[in-house]
Structure 1
């Protein structure tokens, strides 16, 4: 966690040298590597980079994040964009890993709460669970984020609805699809719903810019 860097005072800061693209290249390879590792720790800080937002640009802590980086390293203003991009990438990786280890790993919310990471506050974790149960997050059910196979799309698009009468039986077709995962299907009039174009204003935003909880319409199994 680089405690020596986080404990560093302004007077002890290392000066970061940038190239023409605003990327860190010096003063030494060792300091550049240390700086990149430091940015990864910033991305995993639940106060500086909370996970209960859909997209990184929506975080209300971006200025605070940059100020903290400046307290530990002397980074020219020209490097801000590269720094935030680096933190963004690590933040996304951290969010995916958190979902894999603390959502997919357990079958119930009771177990998820029991194993909640200490680094995430209860309000943030509650918002995360609510989002992970929502319709928007359903298309990311695969913990490895793999694209759904044509067989899976075929089955999901042809699930029977309760109370509806069907003239034909598609169960044998579904079984044949499972037995032949490499089958090439042409599926008309079916598309996977896309994510909101603007997550900062979308109804599924976990927290808005005023730090108020928003309604997602998700089914959340509340732990009592």
Structure 2
């Protein structure tokens, strides 16, 4: 995010909330992540879903001005951008043992384990802690193999 925008976001957050200077990194990270999720949803629901610009503009998100949405669609339609997106999708598909923590920070997870165990967690303990399913979600097959009780002892 450009420095000018970081300063604008920080000033806006301070108008709404009482924040200490130490919270600035958290504010910037939170806004960045929310913006990335928002762009992802727009791309999934309003760009990839429709085959041409006419259909995309007809079904554009109501909160996005037409000029901005057109510029975004033109950007996503460029050959180098499409090639990069395809490369990223291939690379992501090859990943094994994805973490299941959502927005939770790894350092917070490490701190919770440290308090619980009264010592520094091992690398394997962090691996299992960050990949176990929550709320009844199933682990993917690859992670399930690694997560078997016999593999945890090693």
Compute the TM-score of the two structures, normalised by the length of structure 1: 0.37
Q: Which has the higher helix share?
A: 2
Q: How many Å apart are 1:62 and its aligned residue?
A: 2.5
Which has the bigger relative contact order, CA under 8 A and spacing at least 6?
Answer: 1
Is structure 2 residue 48 aligned with structure 1 residue 100? Answer: no
Unaligned runs of 5+ in 2: 95-154
Return the alpha-carbon distance in structure 1 between the equivalents of residues 81 and 5 of structure 2. 24
Provide Cα deviations, 1:62-84, integer angstroms capped at 9, x if missing partner. 32221111111101112111110
Tell me which residue corresponds to 1:164: none
Tell me which residue corresponds to 1:212: none
Q: How many Å apart are 1:59 and its aligned residue?
A: 7.5
Match of 1:114 among 52, 58, 69: 58
Aligned ranges for residues 159-178 of structure 1 at < 5 Å?
Answer: none
Is structure 2 residue 26 aligned with structure 1 residue 82? Answer: yes
Q: How many residues align?
A: 92
Provide Cα deviations, 1:10-51, integer angstroms capped at 9, x if missing partner. xxxxxxxxxxxxxxxxxxxxxxxxxxxxxxxxxxxxxxxxxx
Q: How many Å apart are 1:123 and its aligned residue?
A: 2.0
Tell me which residue corresponds to 2:79: 135
Larger Rg: 1
Q: How many Å apart are 1:121 and its aligned residue?
A: 1.2
Tell me which residue corresponds to 1:146: 89
Return the alpha-carbon distance in structure 1 between the equivalents of residues 8 and 74 of structure 2. 26
Return the alpha-carbon distance in structure 1 between the equivalents of residues 64 and 3 of structure 2. 16
Unaligned runs of 5+ in 1: 1-56, 151-224
Runs of 4+ in 1 over 4 A off after TM superposition: none
Q: Which has the higher strand share?
A: 1
Q: How many Å apart are 1:58 and its aligned residue?
A: 3.5
Compute the TM-score of the two structures, normalised by the length of structure 2: 0.53
